[in-house]
Chain A
């Protein structure tokens, strides 16, 4: 009896300790990153670091601007492709598809989320990059801003990164927004339909409206996934540290910067500190977005539970 109780007590304590440890880990990492990036923050002003465009570590120039823009552009591009497509897919699955189809497609989509990023990277290099190389001269001639091809595009570009990232965030946005649509009470649909609205009017004016906060959360989660994604993007985006002027230009997002350079040429002063600052910025942005999305989702769950 005594031993059993002791075990019970120990197990409880141990689990609490692990739980606390894993949540502390986030703070530990943040503090460590801050501590290691302190030298560069002391040597340079934050605005110089964030808005400087020259990246010449040998000469002590650490301008993050091209990397920040590269990350933003590639993420935004990915969202431009992913959001409409995944929301429409989620609407189709939740509102139109027959149960049979839904039950077959959803697991497949979840499977998509489980494929390792490097596989997406290979797929990007083999399929997307040549495609972009092929279409760049055609679309580039049209002279649309951001879609110009000034010089020859190898295909390793913002666009390739955006497409590969879009494919990677599809599953997240689809499966969360599908859940959100399913959670919209059927009374809302009844109300709209019984007034003579068509199915599409009902979805457009009543269902989406009810689901809006949840869709926002799904998009934010997709965004933070895209923002931090490293491997797949690194393989297709070209990695040239300059501000891209067109989607056919190469870019150099921050995760790629860190992954490509950390551990090499560490003898350069402040180099290591600069890379860890990039990591800190990435982490904080993603943390913020994820937190915001979770809060929205929790609020939705509560309001659904309370009727």
Chain B
């Protein structure tokens, strides 16, 4: 994991001192709320429905035990004893007081963390594959590049007041676990003909009210050209992006309005101008950063304990079926800790649970933790013989839900419970669906299925790329939920299609149930997943399951 050097540490100290002064100047009136707003946003401080919210970056989703423990401490000391992990590998504290925030930031700095650029119209926390450095299918660990991008984008003088927020995601694997096609810039690691790693550069993806799949503007970008190329893209966008209409300000609209060809030409021209600025100092830094991400010293030893436990403990077997992923070292596994207990708030963890996860990371996972964009926590390197002990500890802390990738592993945005922009509740919808399928005990039979829920058109819950997407709207003061089908956030990215008229709050869970019953009837066998069946048959039979009356009416 990356450790700050003196420069990073001094930077954070200076930045926190600046923000402390800005908070004081806001309180004494030197700064108007309008002027303070972009400054607090640059430091991760939002004004929510009921209170301020502090969004802390977990760069590329990587943490260690000490950092997780500090998050637990912050949650207890200045918040209500829990935190909420988000779809962009951040953690949010929902109840801080303005005056306490500078102290919270100092506490974060003690463990080399910050809240810089987690909001505002600037380059946001760079996200990466949560299995980075552990996945069996990886070309290279994308995190060193993500850290380089973090340093480059931090306090970048040109890009603190962009037309709109700007999100970058990096993946080092052909299997895209970082939703790169739904980001302002997506970087997908590929190899050139000679085998050298570089990036496919995708621009202009995004969800929100106008969902777009990003366009490839460079098939292969050598690694050494990354910073000038990304700088060229953001620089072109800064002048070209629309500032007259907030809803048309994201780069996806710029790309859409000007065309990918024109954007590519402008970027290449700008890149030619910027490339000489990067004389290789950045590559020397990258080499230094890469050293921080050297793989841990994997231990070798028998894995019989794992096999035995699977044979004798059905609960463990079920958990290991769903929550483990293949590690590049066959004696190891990647274990995902579900923050989606049936009926709980997706992504919430109590301070106590954070400490349990910190302990487990230190004891069994080479002191590494990851936060996934699916709002779960990952122990990336667990020796298989340790899995029974890990499972037992998780079970004791209420963290052993065996549902990763299943119907109750729902992404939901905060919605009406916290968010000032919400038009409907989303957390309670997720809770009800998860509880229902938990009772039915059918989710393991249903198999892989992604439900994603947003509480308004801004789509923070990524509903467009859910196999089943749920969007909560407000229709004349009443919550109304639209269902989309067939979305996909991976390398085969697709935007879901609207199924038909929306449903009232109390109709949504039965509607999902009809949809699932329909799928179980339609699938060719238990191994055909929901999305595969949908792709084979199209939307019609799913719509028929969802709207039985209208089908009957049409038939009559």
Q: Do A and B bind each other?
A: no
User: Which B residues are closer than 8 A to A by beta carbons?
Assistant: none
